[in-house]
């Protein structure tokens, strides 16, 4: 059996010396160059990394793919993978802390005038009189979380420290923490949008929720509210969001993800003053790679010993 670790930014290949000792009968390999991936993956049974349709079709022996990301929409966009028998597992649980930190950073950037401070620093200008009236305190404000999985719960934990009121919706609303005012099914989404001063989208992108936060849903939000999207682009109707921001029907927004990535240079989103954009960085962390490795090594043991389902095994019909 061959296990291949593909090109990645996490240094996942560092696990090879240890896992080789644990599984001496398994062949382990690392493909550092994406140009060689089609050749290297041809005889692999297990693959950890990202791949495209060409690579997948070349992998005639493949039995299981471990995604390095929580979202698996890129994998399920490959028709043969989505419809076939190759197992797919996500990295759910590996990105919660950093996603939560990024969310709070985006909220604070909007409420504490960080962009204005940076611009005035570049101009060598103090700007106190201009910026002071824009300062917003989070105490007592309501944070609405759409998707209460690992990331959503990590966000709620950190928002609690800011004395925020927290509400959430999820497809499977279970185990409400004491610091969450209410946790309900997605049929309460409209109520969440109406109540919240800040709305965070953490749900995975699926075929069923594309554009599900459109003009009608954004219209339910307070004109003083702000929207933060950290999971996947395509869930929010970006044209509707742009209109709401430009027309003052929404106070601000922050996007770590967009429907098309990289965001095209001619996108209207770049020039919206009350929109903060980061380039899909929320999952980045010096600790994230270690969490992915721990998950993969645990799943490898399960696979070798025939213990199914694997952790985070994806339901391809649901998309997560």
Residue 19: per-residue pLDDT: 87
pLDDT band at 132 (very low <50, low <70, confident <90, very high): very high
Within this chain, domains 2-94+286-304 and 96-277 share the same CATH topology? yes
Per-residue burial over 71-89, b = 16 or more CB atoms within 10 Å of its CB, e = otherwise:
bbbebbebeebbeeebbbb
The mean of the pLDDT values for the chain is 96
The per-residue pLDDT for range 270-316, each reduced to its tens digit, is: 999 999 999 999 999 999 999 999 999 999 999 999 999 999 999 99
Per-residue burial over 252-273, b = 16 or more CB atoms within 10 Å of its CB, e = otherwise:
bbbbbbbbeeebeeebebeebe
Catalytic (active-site) positions: 232, 261, 280
Q: What are the sequence ranges of the domains in the chain?
A: 2-94+286-304, 96-277
Is the domain 2-94+286-304 a CATH 2.40.50.700 member? no
Is the domain 96-277 a CATH 3.40.50.2300 member? no
**Taking the model in full, what pTM does it have?**
0.94
């Amino acid at each position: 059996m061959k296990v291949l670790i593909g090109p990645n930014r996490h240094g996942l290949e560092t696990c090879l010396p240890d896992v080789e000792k644990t599984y001496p009968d398994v062949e382990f390999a690392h493909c550092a160059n994406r140009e060689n991936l089609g050749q290297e993956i041809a005889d692999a049974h297990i693959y950890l990394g990202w791949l495209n349709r060409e690579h997948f079709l070349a992998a005639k022996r493949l039995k299981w793919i471990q995604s390095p990301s929580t979202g698996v929409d890129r994998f399920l966009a490959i028709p043969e993978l989505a419809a076939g028998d190759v197992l797919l597992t996500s990295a759910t649980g590996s990105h919660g802390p950093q996603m939560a930190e990024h969310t709070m950073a985006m909220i604070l950037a909007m409420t504490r005038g960080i962009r204005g401070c940076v611009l005035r620093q570049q101009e060598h200008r103090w700007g106190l009189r201009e910026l002071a009236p824009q300062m917003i305190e989070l105490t007592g404000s309501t944070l609405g979380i759409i998707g209460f999985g690992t990331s959503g719960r990590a966000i709620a934990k950190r928002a609690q420290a800011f004395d925020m009121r927290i509400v959430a919706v999820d497809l499977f609303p279970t185990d409400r923490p004491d610091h969450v005012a209410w946790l309900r099914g997605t049929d309460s989404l409209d109520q969440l949008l109406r109540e919240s001063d800040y709305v965070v989208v953490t749900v995975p992108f699926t075929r069923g929720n594309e554009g599900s936060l459109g003009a009608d849903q954004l219209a339910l939000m307070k004109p003083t509210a702000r929207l933060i999207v950290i999971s996947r682009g395509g869930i929010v109707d970006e044209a509707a969001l742009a209109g709401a921001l430009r027309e003052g029907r929404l106070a601000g927004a922050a996007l770590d993800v967009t429907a098309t990535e990289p965001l095209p240079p001619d996108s209207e989103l770049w020039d919206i003053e009350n929109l903060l954009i980061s380039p899909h960085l929320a999952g980045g962390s010096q600790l994230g790679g270690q969490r992915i490795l721990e998950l993969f090594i645990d799943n490898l043991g399960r696979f070798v010993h025939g213990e199914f389902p694997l952790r985070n095994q994806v339901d391809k019909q649901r998309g997560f």
